[in-house]
Structure 1
Amino acid sequence: MALQAFLAPDSPLELQRDVQRKLGRCLLRLQQYEILLKALVAYSDIAGSPAELQAVRDAQVASAQKKTLGTLVGMLTERHLALADECESAKEPPQDDSALWFQFRFRVQLDASQHHATTVALKELVDLRNELVHHFLQRFNVWEYEGCIDADAYLDASYETIDGHYLTLRGWVQGMEEARSFMASFMKTATFEDLLVNGIAPDGSVDWPASGVVRCLHAAESRFMVDGWTLLNTATSWIRAEYPDQRPQRYGCGSWRQVIHESQQFEIRRVENKEQGCGEVWYRSLREETRMHRKISP
């Protein structure tokens, strides 16, 4: 464009103002889109221990703030848009089985044709943003009547495109927030506490290695072990005193011996106490080789 066009004294001011207003409207909508996209990228996949979660979230928010729209769209398409039949693996938790670890992951599932169309449309949105920000005045001579008319029509179409993307993204973010809210509500329930602390799933099944009762038996073992074995009566008396809510009945068992059997985390033996004239039950944690053998045995 000739430099004289920028210096023309008789430019169509009213048309220019309309173009300026519509260009501003497009850019504001793009910024709204970018803010939502940063939130989705930052919050849709958070994992770590309870003590780490806040720091992980803050770091992801700070990282997203520094990303360009093109980079954010790339992250969206690569990490957060999933094919409907795609099986995704969760992040690997720490090796320490005793450590609590959480992951919240939100994905938008699309079929193959939707995924391809969405990916193409998002690339076109980035191109449109770059055109509006960097090349608009090179494309349209808004110091002339015809240039303003062409620019006006282009901006109307551009806003419609941007707004469509914004509404779609807003729906995704609302879905993510609803999932986060549901998760937060569930985490306040007794059902979640049972799942987290005691390893008891809502259907009543028990994750024995993560269960509270097994942790208590391990703790008693570390206190009262004699030559590698722990007297079960001594352990259960201590557990009843220190952790009265940890009872076999809570886990669908009628006795502590059934807990030992169902959990498959311990060995057990019966020893005759000649002094008292009765039998005693002792237990110990499974050795690693025994545990591995049980896992591979049919």
Structure 2
Amino acid sequence: MKSEVATNHAPELKSAVDEVLRKIGRNMLLFQQLEGLLKYIIANGQFSGYSSELKRIIEKRTSTVNKQTMGQLVGQYIEQTTSQTSNEQSDEEELKEAHFAFNFHIETDEAYAAERKESLAKLVSERNELIHHFLPKFDSTSMSSCEEVDELLEKQSKTIRREIENVKAIAKALMDGRKALAETLTSKSVAMFPLTVVEF
């Protein structure tokens, strides 16, 4: 198979193949980092419930989000962060205890939302290609193939890193919002409010 690395290749070719493999691993980790940021924002960006139920509600939401594919995460991320929909309790409903609602979104226009969706969707496609279809297309016996793939992987990494920085800024704003909300609660409520502080 052309994807197998022969041990008797010239040192230059072996070095080129090793570098390609290293960059494949690096890009996969970058995709995982982006996926983790998306999960954090989706799981923590919206919730609503009584104080005694918040921990269970967010734990359930987090569990559900962790099972989503990256394609699903991108769709939810765009919809959630650009939506103006509120999840606050109706004034007509009688409250049996303290009720909290948190809804995080960014103010933007349709053009920006469409651009973000297209950019992230392209990365989802590239991620799936890298994981599921890359190896059969890589000829490890060809120096030209190594050079071509190396260039593509390097370009891809720059795109992922740029998107990570974009999403990281949103995650930081979300964290600041949750901290501000937590500070308005009593010490007893804070204990029930599952604020997760994550360093990115």
TM bin, normalised by shorter chain, reads: 0.7 to 0.9
Amino acid at match of 1:10: H
Correspondence 1:47 to 2:48 = yes
Structure 1 distance, partners of 2:68, 2:180, is: 29
Amino acid at match of 1:109: E
The residue aligned with 2:175 is 177
- The normalised TM-score by structure 2 is 0.84
Deviation per CA, 1:228-271, whole angstroms, max 9, x where unpaired? xxxxxxxxxxxxxxxxxxxxxxxxxxxxxxxxxxxxxxxxxxxx
Q: Give the 3 Å change call, closer, same or farther, for CA 149–126 of structure 1 in structure 2.
A: same
Q: Give the 3 Å change call, closer, same or farther, for CA 157–103 of structure 1 in structure 2.
A: same
Q: Give the 3 Å change call, closer, same or farther, for CA 21–188 of structure 1 in structure 2.
A: same
Q: Give the 3 Å change call, closer, same or farther, for CA 88–139 of structure 1 in structure 2.
A: same
Correspondence 1:100 to 2:98 = yes
Amino acid at match of 2:9: D
Correspondence 1:10 to 2:9 = yes
Correspondence 1:89 to 2:86 = yes
Alignment of 1:1-298 (within 5 A): 3-4=1-2, 6=4, 8=6, 9-10=8-9, 12-82=13-83, 87-93=84-90, 95-188=93-186
Superposition deviation, residue 38 in structure 1: 0.9
Deviation per CA, 1:139-158, whole angstroms, max 9, x where unpaired? 33233101100011000000
Deviation per CA, 1:51-99, whole angstroms, max 9, x where unpaired? 10000011111111111111111111222223xxxx4333444822444
Equivalent residues, number: 183
Task: Answer yes or no: is the 8 Å Cα contact 1:140–1:150 preserved in 2.
Answer: no
Superposition deviation, residue 18 in structure 1: 0.8
Amino acid at match of 1:186: T
SS in 2 for 1:104: strand
Listed as ranges, the gaps of 5+ residues in structure 2 are 188-200
Structure 2 distance, partners of 1:175, 1:143, is: 48
Superposition deviation, residue 10 in structure 1: 2.0
Listed as ranges, the gaps of 5+ residues in structure 1 are 190-298
Structure 2 distance, partners of 1:10, 1:108, is: 53
Amino acid at match of 1:64: V
Superposition deviation, residue 24 in structure 1: 1.0
SS in 2 for 1:6: coil
- The normalised TM-score by structure 1 is 0.57
Q: Give the 3 Å change call, closer, same or farther, for CA 104–144 of structure 1 in structure 2.
A: same
SS in 1 for 2:102: strand
Q: Which runs of 4+ in 1 moved over 3 A?
A: 91-94
Structure 1 distance, partners of 2:164, 2:26, is: 13
Superposition deviation, residue 5 in structure 1: 5.5
Structure with the larger RCO, 1 or 2 (CA within 8 Å, 6+ apart): 2
SS in 2 for 1:184: helix
Task: Answer yes or no: is the 8 Å Cα contact 1:16–1:142 preserved in 2.
Answer: yes
